[in-house]
Chain A
């Protein structure tokens, strides 16, 4: 079993819809949770960073963490074609090393 599981997609939605992404993890020691966006042939770009259970909002993005269920989510409201990318969850315990999910490809159709 992988430490971090993420549905690979692809996830196709019409423009303006809500995109819902999620990851599950197995290690209770994980404390810090991140979402990255990666366009094709580019490096990942940090979108959201949180370390506690609950919701965190930043513009059209909402990150949700449920430590009791070991489940994290990212919601993108009012999705745009420019949101089409691969979204990676990344989690770490104390220390610097990140463990990535496999990534979910998202396609927002105009």
Chain B
């Protein structure tokens, strides 16, 4: 199956700083990538959808100025959490799909802890 990686797997940052999370499709070209957020014992909540070369589409209630998404190439999307606060601590997961394929392949997730 298709492989999606994320880096870092775990990051701790101080309140007020920014942190960048990378999502890469390793063996296919991802025309669309998705970013999800998951709190403990809860399901995945879609934050935004990004298509290569265009601006991300954010779900209702997600602050686009706080969660910056860049999808500059067909294999890389980044999520930057700006001015992080403790309530941003969560598990962030990306997924990717290839052109004409509708199965979403998920990355292993990134655990963000804001102190």
A contact set with B: CB distance below 8 Å? 8, 32, 34, 36, 41-46, 49, 88, 92, 96-98, 100-103, 105
Contacts and interface: CB of A to CB of B under 8 A. Distances in A.
Interface stretch (B68-76, B80-88, B98-106): B98-106
B44 A100 contact: yes
Interface residues of B, number: 24
Interface in B21-66: 32, 34, 41-44, 46, 49
Nearest to A51: B102
A46 B43 contact: no
Contacts of A100: 43-44
Contact of B32 (A32, A88, A96, A105): A96
Contact of B108 (A42, A88, A105): A42
Interface of B: 1, 4, 6, 32, 34, 41-44, 46, 49, 91, 93, 95, 97, 102-109, 111
Contacts of B106: 36, 43-46
List of 4 A-B pairs having minimum Cβ-Cβ separation, nearest first: A43-B106, A102-B43, A100-B43, A43-B108
Contacts of A96: 32, 34, 49, 97, 102, 104
